[in-house]
Amino acid sequence: MPEIFNALPGQEVPVGGISKALARMWAGGEESAPGKPDAGESAKATQVNFVLHLGYFTTSEDAERQFQTAVEFSRRYPCRVVVLCPMRMDESGQDFRAKIYGECTPGKTKGDMRCCEFVMLSYPMAGRRYLENQVSVCLSTDLPLYYWAHNFSSSVRLNDYQYLLSRSKRVLFDSALAPADLADFVWPKPEVVRDLAYARLLPVRQAIGQFLSGFAPAAIIGGLSGVTVRHGAAHIAEALGLAAWARSRLNDCGAAAELPVEVLASAELPAHDIELSFRYSNGQHFSWRGDTARGCAHFKASIGGAGSELAIAFNLLGPAAALAEAMFF
């Protein structure tokens, strides 16, 4: 039996009757949505099509977490969500199966109601050549498509879904969960690919940028000989993203394109710590260290003759907020 599909909430419906079942759901029929079944048309207005594709490495518990992330996201950005659940080779069944789910929650003002609707599709790998047609039927017409490939076992598997990769306005993945061979994957539209690990770093990037904005760019890069990012066991993907961002911003300040930037796993750091430091040949120094478990960070710098220390509260973006950051910004 398709384990992932069965773990997700919703009312099972015939695959050929998804549209009619959704209409009955909002009309208060047998597949009625929790929250407020009699949702008006304005409450159901969707902004985007969002496909969440659960890869082979997804467990039932993980699937439920990602489903709830999609629900939280859709409360702020109303969308039609299609959740794809491929069956593993050791699971029995050769047919497509479908579920629908909807819910409504109060908005920011009186009388404002936000509703989201989901279609879950389970499919055998032998039937994936028919998946394009099934997904097309489920999507709202004339709306942009966003595609989240979650926890795939290999980039070879991902390569089977060129329809979604090439049509989507954004293609999302999480490098913390990416297969080892993804670095060599040839994206059909690399300019639309976004990493959720990098998106989670938004508060870090904003805090470091704001702190360094108090120094002149020439002073920041004067005598700069290299950059080091150290990380605990939990944050290798975020460390790599922070290193790439730091190089880009320092290049914008005038640093050499070949500026050495290294990323190091450190047994000295707790699992949830990340540290960024600049190496100088003229006695200057800069460091930022954040602890995502405790939600705090510390700056220490001496640049251009001015020394400064600062402790701040911070954390990485949550899953739903990271989705929004990666999709729209």
pLDDT of residue 269: 96
The predicted pLDDT at position 222 comes to 97
Task: Examine the fold and report which residue of 142, 157, 188 is the final residue of a domain before the chain moves on.
Answer: 188
Domain-located, residue 329: no
How many CB atoms within 10 Å of residue 312?
Answer: 15
Number of structural domains the chain divides into: 2
* pLDDT value at 32 more than 60: no
**What CATH number has the domain bearing residue 230?**
3.30.360
Distance between CA atoms of 15 and 134, rounded to whole angstroms? 8
- Residue 250 in domain: yes
Q: Tell me which DSSP letter residue 316 carries.
A: P
pLDDT in tens, 45-61: 678 999 999 999 999 99
pLDDT in tens, 171-215: 999 999 999 899 899 999 999 999 999 999 999 999 999 999 999
> Given this model, what pLDDT does residue 41 score?
54
Boundary (domain end) residue, out of 188, 210, 244: 188
**What integer pLDDT is reported at residue 43 of this predicted model?**
52
- Which amino acid is located at 176 in the chain? A
E-assigned strands of 176-295?
193-195, 224-231, 261-265, 273-280, 285-291
Q: Does 193 reside within a domain?
A: no
**pLDDT tops 80 at residue 37:** no
- 206, 304: one domain: yes
Q: Comparing C-alpha atoms, which of 301, 204, 207 is closest to residue 243? A: 204
Q: Could you report the per-residue pLDDT of 241-256, keeping only the tens digit for each?
A: 999 999 999 999 999 9
Q: Would you say residue 64 lies in a domain?
A: yes
Q: Could you tell me if residue 156 is inside a domain?
A: yes
Same domain, 161 and 253: no
Q: Clarify whether residues 42 and 99 are in a common domain.
A: yes
Task: Note whether 128 and 271 are same-domain residues.
Answer: no
The whole-number pLDDT of residue 62 equals 97
**326 within a domain of the structure (yes/no):** no
Structural domain boundaries enclosing 56 = 3-188
Domain boundary among 188, 208, 232: 188
Q: Does residue 206 lie within any of the structural domains? A: yes
